[in-house]
Amino acid sequence: MLKVDVDGRVIEVQKGERLLDIARRLGVKDVLMAELDGEVVELTSVVERDSKVKFLDFSHPMSQKAFWHTASHIMAQAVKRLFPHAKLGIGPAIENGFYYDFDYPDGFSAEDIEKIEAEMKRIVEEDYPVIKELKSKKEAREILKDEPYKLELLEDIPDEVVSFYRQGEFIDLCAGPHLPSTGYVKHFKLLSVAGAYWRGDERNPMLQRIYGTAFPTKEMLEDHINRMEEAKRRDHRRLGRELDLFSLQPEGPGFPFFHPKGMVVLNELVDFWRKEHRKAGYKEIRTPLILSKELWERSGHWDHYKENMYFTKIDEMDYAIKPMNCPGAILVYKEGIKSYRDLPLRLAELGIVHRHERSGVLHGLMRVRAFTQDDAHIFCTPEQIKGEIEGIIRLADHFYRDIFGFDYSVELSTKPEKAMGSDEIWEKATNALKSTLDDLSIPYRIREGEGAFYGPKIDFHLRDCIGRTWQCGTIQLDFLIPEKFDVTYVGTDGERHRPVMIHRVIYGSLERFFGILIEHYAGAFPLWLAPVQVKILTIGEAHIPFARELYDILFDRGYRVELDDRNEKLGYKIRGAQLEKVPYMAIVGDKEVSERKVSVRERKEGDIGSFSIDEFLKMLEERKRSFK
Q: Which of 224, 338, 377, 581 is catalytic?
A: 377
- In the three-class reduction of DSSP (H, G, I as helix; E, B as strand; rest coil), residue 602 is classed as strand
Q: Which of 373, 384, 476, 533 is catalytic?
A: 373
Active site residue 445: no
Active site residue 121: no
Active site residue 356: no
Type of residue numbered 593: V
DSSP codes, 305-372: HGGG-EEEEETTEEEEE-S-SHHHHHHHHTSS--BGGG-SEEEEEEEEEE----GGG-BTTTB-SEEE
Contact 366, 407 (CB under 8 A): no
Most distant CA atoms of the chain, gap in Å: 95
DSSP codes, 31-59: --EEEETTEEEETT-B--SSEEEEEE-TT
Q: Which of 375, 459, 464, 478 is catalytic?
A: 375
DSSP state of 498: P
Active site residue 103: no
How far apart, in whole angstroms, are the C-alpha atoms of residue 478 and residue 456? 8
What backbone torsions phi and psi does residue 244 show, to the nearest 5 degrees?
A: 60, 45
Report how far Cα 628 is from the mean position of its chain's Cα atoms.
Answer: 24
Q: Which of 174, 326, 380, 472 is catalytic?
A: 326
- In the three-class reduction of DSSP (H, G, I as helix; E, B as strand; rest coil), residue 611 is classed as strand
Contact 113, 171 (CB under 8 A): no
Active site residue 533: no
Q: Which of 219, 204, 179, 29 is nearest to 98 (CA)?
A: 179
Burial, 113: exposed, middle or buried (Cβ in 10 Å; 0-12, 13-18, 19+)?
middle
Q: Which of 355, 367, 520, 597 is catalytic?
A: 355
Beta carbons within 10 angstroms of residue 206's beta carbon: 14
The residues annotated as belonging to the active site are 326, 355, 373, 375, 377, 457, 503
